[in-house]
Structure 1
Amino acid sequence: MSDRAAAAASGVPQRVGAASSEGRAHPLMSIGEVLAQLRAEFPDTTISKLRFLEAEGLVEPQRTPAGYRKYSWQDVARLRFVLSAQRDQYLPLRVIRAQLAELDADGESGRVRPALVAVPPAGEVPQVGAEQPELEGAEVRLPRADLVRRSGLDEATLTELERLGIVVSGSPGWYDSDALIICRAVAGLAEYGFQPRHLRAYRTAADREVGLFAQLVAPLARQSDPAARARAAELARELGALSQQLHAALVRVGLRETLGR
């Protein structure tokens, strides 16, 4: 029986974090093969993204004498950890890097963990909703009827949201995952008596933030270098996460003052 089979039979979790000698014993994969492994779960992943994560020190594939990258299954596990933490919890790279460093240290000291699970640091806002992974991806295309059905909004409310610019269709009659998230949030607020007209301030505040963040993101996005564009996408993600945390904290502070706490 192999070491891996014996570990599985005994119920002992395998070591995670830095690439192990056992993981390196398996056939190595090219960057294209790794992309094919990840695309089913993370459809927005690109080769440029994988190169960017390597440049940021989050994964260190081996190199052939000719300079080609070769990834182990442990490298793929690290990439899944990073991509899951970004997608499901909007964690910035500095936080993910620190978590990986802890896992690496645990591996060196002989400690083990059952799985790569990203945990938000104290004070950060966890993402709520088991359906979040299903909603991830700008390539999601929902017809209007599905958007209405899955969000719980009625046609009249959706029409009003579009008139106010709160919901925008990517192409006539089709909506992305963010439109569904917005509609579900509006449907939840409607249960407390909020109307679409009450939400104009959200649209205005978001536009102001976009204007500020665009000054940082746009110069990178305009470059022809794929690595620069990958960095632009990463920067946009991190700015969005920080903005979300700031907004949630300010609302909590305001409500505590309202409650007299």
Structure 2
Amino acid sequence: MPHTPSGGARVGTAAEDAGQGSGPMSIGAVLQALREEFPEVTVSKIRFLEAEGLVEPARTPAGYRKFRAEDVARLSHVLRMQRDHYLPLKVIREQLAGAADGTCPPAVPPSSDEPEGAGTARELAGPPAAVRLDREELLAAVSAAPDELAAWEEYGLLRAGQDGRYGHGELAAARLVAQLGRHGLEARHLRALKICADRQLDLAEQTVASLRRHPDARTRELADGRVRELAELSARLYAAFVQAVPGTSGD
């Protein structure tokens, strides 16, 4: 089942797989159904989403959870909206509550006339400022523990805003840091990458310093776009350097 970062993945894919079963599913079976598309999902994440009211599985007399196919579809939608569109749980909950027929609304498709490279620029620019995650939502989104987040912040890998919440950039960084952590790379190992990124951003700002001082407002606005473009090119150059290392390009 291919991962579709743009949001074009079919809604209910995991539920269709689950529907092939013989009846209600245990939380372990749900985990297996979801992991093909969401390999980082955990039992704790599913329980957290239940505690947040995003899914309400039935319970046996003994208290065991029993998930229906529609519960798995709902979980898939929530995870997809977090992964592809960086929506906080509050917004996703409101979307689900507003679905009159009780089914999951489809993922937001990309614009058909979006120019090449616009997706990367959009990710660098970030979503509207209103989309903000608190600590619990960030931890749930990346399946991390509080002590891991504390270490990331201690080493300067990410930082909450003045409102105590995290934006798109912090979420994207946290996802990658968490993935690297599962391969044994700790926050202290990644500090050098953050320092390098900060230096590249400083260099980009130096190149647009004259634009930011220009008396024309439109010219000053060009500076932000130029910085994003330079950041994107720097990221692509870093990836090219890594791929050029013998043994990493697959040649």
- Is the radius of gyration larger for structure 1 or structure 2? 1
- Larger RCO (CA within 8 A; separation ≥ 6): 1
TM-score normalised over the length of structure 2: 0.49
